[in-house]
Structure 1
Amino acid sequence: MSHYRLPQIRSLVTAMPGPRSAELAARRARAVAAGVGSSVPVYAADADGGVIVDVDGNSLIDFGSGIAVTSVGASEPGVAAAVAAQAEHFTHTCFMVTPYEGYVAVAEKLAELTPGDHEKKSVLFNSGAEAVENAVKAARLATGRQAVVAFDHAYHGRTNLTMALTAKSMPYKTNFGPFAPEVYRMPMSYPYRDPQGMTGAQAAERAITQIDKQIGSDSVAAIIIEPIQGEGGFIVPAPGFLPALAQWARDKGIVFIADEVQTGFARTGSWFACDHEGVVPDMITMAKGIAGGMPLSAVTGRADLLDKVHPGGLGGTYGGNPVACAAALAAIDVMEKQDLAARARAIADQVVPRLKALAEETGVIGDVRGRGAMLAVELVKKGTDTPDPDLTKAVAAAALAAGVVTLTCGTYGNVFRLLPPLSISDELLDDGLTVLEDSVRTAVAGAAS
């Protein structure tokens, strides 16, 4: 794996948060809008490999990767060097004014890596939400249709259109409407909560039937779906669900958009989550892990679809920033040379058996799921499938107190997710898992007392 600049250890020298983090929190309260939330109350000073060092000198294990962004590590030497080298020459010219090679090179690489061997083209943006907006925009123009199908538990962003596509109201949508029209929500394949024995093909037929009844396939411009849902709870659809939807969309002239903002770039044990079932989307949206922490996103899709958009119809002042493009090329190079997709699979091999054993031991884990280094447990009240968000919060708090940064998610707020950097060492991963196991035990004992 990568050479580590910082010691890869968990080390606590203060309580959480420490005094300097508390000082920064007070400054933040005066200067930063209250609508911006943070998962943990500690402030980062340094990060490398699988650790975050806070301003008080605590070395914390990172099980979040900045929400699946720093897969190669938060200060990977190749990425840092590429950023510095590009910044020394120019930080911006605007690709729409004076273009540059880095943007072209990233587009070429995305055509190579994304699923399918058809002719592809790309357009670069800054955030996942921007990529989603522009994929939908291009699909509507290319098809001449308006309706867009999204799914229960989906998360696609916080802009107006992407809020409409996102399922969960609080905190993402509450009181922010009205939302963009012609967005329709269909049932997702959710094996843990679907009727027992429902197959992926049956779940797809359930959604297709509702699309036909509620919209009519001739009116649908696009279906957009996360191959593994992220914020909705790391929901892995039953086998066959995605291929059946994609094939139906192809037969009906509907653009099938895979939102791989969180799942892409080796996170699930393949370059993209669509690869696991051989699904070839018409368009794919990407961000997060693409550029080692620099803001960059992309839409890659069928050339015949994207080329229907008139010149000037796609773009943005900062889209495909040259420094971010340099970071992306360096990060992808690291992923290839270190075979981080294989590393993601090895992480699953180390983590999943322990999570399943913990489920057997405690009785409060209803489901262990995910792929590669995108893993989760769904916490429920013992002996039921009733979501237990309070227990989930307690586990996260206990883990932080012991020096592990974690994330929760899920429509019901009861899913505990693991997104370690793919560069994390086995020893650090093992230590973090031990903390997590103890945190679940501690939270269960506290709930019982």
Structure 2
Amino acid sequence: MTASTTAAPQAPAPRQRRLQTEIPGPLSRELQQRRTGAVAAGVSSVLPVYVTSASGGLLTDADGNVLIDFGSGIAVTNVGHSAPAVVDRVRKQACWFTHTCFMVTPYEGYVEVCEALAELTPGDHAKKSVLFNSGAEAVENAVKIARVATGRQAVVVFDHAYHGRTNLTMGMTAKSVPYKHGFGPFAPEIYRVPGSYPFRDGLSGPEAAALAIDRVEKQIGGDQVAAVVLEPIQGEGGFIEPARGFLPAIAAWCRENGVVYVADEVQTGFCRTGSWFASTDEDVVPDLIATAKGIAGGLPLSAVTGRAELLDAVPPGGLGGTYGGNPIACAAALGSIETMKTEDLAASAKRIEGVVLPRLRALADETGVIGDVRGRGAMLAAEFVHAGTSEPDADLTKRVAAACHRAGVVVLTCGTYGNVVRLLPPLSLADDLLDEGLSVLEHAVRTEARA
């Protein structure tokens, strides 16, 4: 074994951004060299700084640099890094037992998580859940459930969608590079239709829905569709918030045609958009809802929750997995949900929205290189374009993100055209860190727009 080059985690936890070296620093660069020899090249990282500790909305790297986290591990640490209730429950559970497999000898934590999901997810109908490890697993199993329950095969998805990296969910994902290129053939009976992208299509919600529904009825037939799967706000595709009326119209068509409406709330769930789930913004009640990411404060856990009769359509043994609903992950989820409730993190997400959106819009007006500012809660984005046009500017987007990284602020990019900077801060992020991180972003945009 090679001796570790990482510094010991710092104590007490830092409370502000601090740069002691360039980014990445010498110890992170040394670790990067080791990684090159040991880790598959297909696994990439946004920022090659090697984290040794994290607290709240701050990351400390091996060189002692402290970075503001506007990424939350891609919308995972909604409750902040190392949230006390999560840590406490995980520590206790690890002392009791770490695994038995719920399919062998069950345990109360799994049941408690399913009870909590029945309470929190949209709708007052009878609900049941099944637990897995990742968002892709949840989406794939939602499709399995819909197919068994309806006896149909076709699955409808949308332009700019992202649903995961398994074979089925790669087929459901829209963007080829890097998610699909070279990995085919993909699962059959997946059909893609236009969604709602107000900045680029100019359609109202009902108009966009009518276009999608017309495509489905002409090319597939409503009586052949098992499920329509969609993200209430598209994530990797560019944080695209559909025009109002789009989601209710799609949901209504599903009800009328016996189609299972599946909401992929892997990225939007658990207070991220200012409510527990984004579907509730327009009072849409999914038949099935796939969740993951923010559910467990950083531990791997996902779920499919929905109408009890749909979940029970699958015979015993048809759903599950060795690690699905691992007891430590369930403990983390219960601590995470407790934190969201006691700290009212849905309101915190709205607070973040109230600070960020006006500043991004002012920056767009000032610089002329941001074509659209959008999002809800703490799921916010700026789409970069060449000044005076709607042409995507992916190069500027990369430069802005890199400038933020050099200054110690972790931001992420996304979008079909690679031209969106997305902000996903922990919902518990302190006001001063939010302000400081935004100031760094604003400076980066102004500087790079003039370059």
Could you state the TM-score of these two structures normalised by the residue count of structure 2? Answer: 0.97
User: Does the alignment pair 1:117 with 2:124?
Assistant: yes
Determine which of 353, 361, 369 is the counterpart of 1:356.
361
Secondary structure of 2:240's aligned partner = coil
- Matching residue of 1:34: 41
User: Does the alignment pair 1:56 with 2:66?
Assistant: no
Secondary structure of 1:369's aligned partner = strand
Count of aligned pairs between the two proteins? 441
User: Does the alignment pair 1:102 with 2:102?
Assistant: no
- Matching residue of 1:169: 176
Shift of 1:5: 5.9
Amino acid at match of 2:247: L
Shift of 1:74: 1.4
Instruction: Tell me, in whole angstroms, the C-alpha distance in 1 between the residues paired with 2:312 and 2:219.
Output: 30
Amino acid at match of 1:244: A
Instruction: Tell me, in whole angstroms, the C-alpha distance in 1 between the residues paired with 2:318 and 2:290.
Output: 17
Determine which of 414, 424, 446 is the counterpart of 1:419.
424
Matching of residues 318-333 of structure 1 within 5 Å: 318-333=323-338
1:147-199 deviations in Å (ceiling 9; x for gaps): 0000000000000000000000000000000000000001010000013xx21
Instruction: Tell me, in whole angstroms, the C-alpha distance in 2 between the residues paired with 1:406 and 1:162.
Output: 26
User: Does the alignment pair 1:213 with 2:218?
Assistant: yes
Q: Identify unmatched segments of 5+ residues in structure 2.
A: 1-10
User: Does the alignment pair 1:23 with 2:30?
Assistant: yes
- Matching residue of 1:344: 349
- Matching residue of 2:391: 386
Secondary structure of 2:228's aligned partner = strand
Amino acid at match of 1:82: R
Amino acid at match of 2:136: A
Shift of 1:8: 2.2
Instruction: Tell me, in whole angstroms, the C-alpha distance in 1 between the residues paired with 2:82 and 2:303.
Output: 22
- Matching residue of 2:249: 244
Instruction: Tell me, in whole angstroms, the C-alpha distance in 2 between the residues paired with 1:194 and 1:217.
Output: 25
User: Does the alignment pair 1:261 with 2:266?
Assistant: yes
- Matching residue of 2:439: 434
Determine which of 50, 53, 67 is the counterpart of 1:46.
53
The answer to whether the 8 Å contact 1:115/1:280 transfers is: yes
1:321-375 deviations in Å (ceiling 9; x for gaps): 0000000001000000000000000000011100000000000000000000000
Q: Identify unmatched segments of 5+ residues in structure 1.
A: none
1:266-305 deviations in Å (ceiling 9; x for gaps): 0000000001000000000000000000000000010001
- Matching residue of 2:188: 181
Secondary structure of 1:368's aligned partner = strand
Instruction: Tell me, in whole angstroms, the C-alpha distance in 1 between the residues paired with 2:323 and 2:51.
Output: 26
Could you state the TM-score of these two structures normalised by the residue count of structure 1? Answer: 0.98
- Matching residue of 2:151: 144
Amino acid at match of 2:336: A
Amino acid at match of 1:79: V
Matching of residues 65-76 of structure 1 within 5 Å: 65-76=72-83
- Matching residue of 1:287: 292
Q: Percent identity?
A: 70
1:82-119 deviations in Å (ceiling 9; x for gaps): 00100001000000000000000000000000000000
The answer to whether the 8 Å contact 1:259/1:284 transfers is: yes
Matching of residues 151-162 of structure 1 within 5 Å: 151-162=158-169
Secondary structure of 1:193's aligned partner = helix
